Structure 1
Amino acid sequence: MQKQLISSGFTLIELLTTLAIMSILIGVRLPNYQQTLLSTYRDQAKIKLTTISLLQTDHYSRHQQYVELNHLAIDLSSNKYQYSLQLNESNGYKVAATARDNQRHDSECQELSLDHNLTRLPAACW
């Protein structure tokens, strides 16, 4: 009697073909994923800038002056953006979010700003 070998499993060619297909799919999708991440972090920065603006407006309505960022009840810790505030002599302000680390790859939107007149710059990023 002759024993029959039953093959179970994958051949090397099948595994390499699967690996090649997966590599192509990842190569196509990765740039889209990275752009989505940049956009998501930019949206988070815009929310924080808007929140700062609302807090400034609230403080101004009660005290007739704007205050520094450290006097506002908001958490500005972020590893993607650094937040800053410029108080004007004419009783106005401009709050900005400057991209840090990998977020600097968001080339057109490296610095977002919002002022007391609700002017949002750069306009294409808002």
Structure 2
Amino acid sequence: MRKSRSQQGVTLIELLIVVTIAGILAMSALPAYQAHQQKAYLRQAQADLIMLQLAIEQQRSQGQAYPAQLSAALCPACRYDNPFYSYRIALESGTYRLWAESKDGEQECGSIALLHNGTTVPPECW
């Protein structure tokens, strides 16, 4: 009488099927993750512009002029190392405009601004 031997382990075909399914799931999830990451960096840029505006207005309320350029001394809590956005200020006859501009040009909201009176440009990106 022969004893039947039970199969142990997985076959190569089963392993390939699992790897293929995992690859398809990863490929479908990657664009959603990247979009979420870009939105997070946009929100960080918006928060930094608001914090910069608060620091500028605090400096102005203490009798100082609007700064000609941004620096870490102006706003120590701001993240100047945002990998997707860089920040700048533009002075315009007693007012200012704060800009956050995309470094790679691939952002949906590549350039956002916050004006001295709180107006946001473009409004659909805020």
TM-score of the superposition, structure 2-length normalised?
0.86
* Whole-Å separation in 2 of the counterparts to 1:51 and 1:32: 29
Once the two structures are aligned, what percentage of the paired residues are identical?
34
The correspondence for 1:93, drawn from 91, 96, 99, is 96
2:122 matches 1:118: no
Q: CA RMSD in A?
A: 1.7
Q: Which residues of structure 2 form unaligned runs of 5+?
A: none
Q: Please give the secondary structure, in 2, of the residue aligned with 1:59.
A: helix
The match for 2:52 is 52
TM-score of the superposition, structure 1-length normalised?
0.86
Q: Please give the secondary structure, in 1, of the residue aligned with 2:82.
A: coil
The match for 1:9 is 9
Deviation at 1:2, TM superposition (A): 4.5
How many residue pairs are counted as aligned between the two chains? 122
Higher share in helix: 1
The match for 1:25 is 25
Moved over 4 A (4+): 1-4
Q: Which residues of structure 1 form unaligned runs of 5+?
A: none
* Whole-Å separation in 1 of the counterparts to 2:119 and 2:2: 85
The match for 2:106 is 105
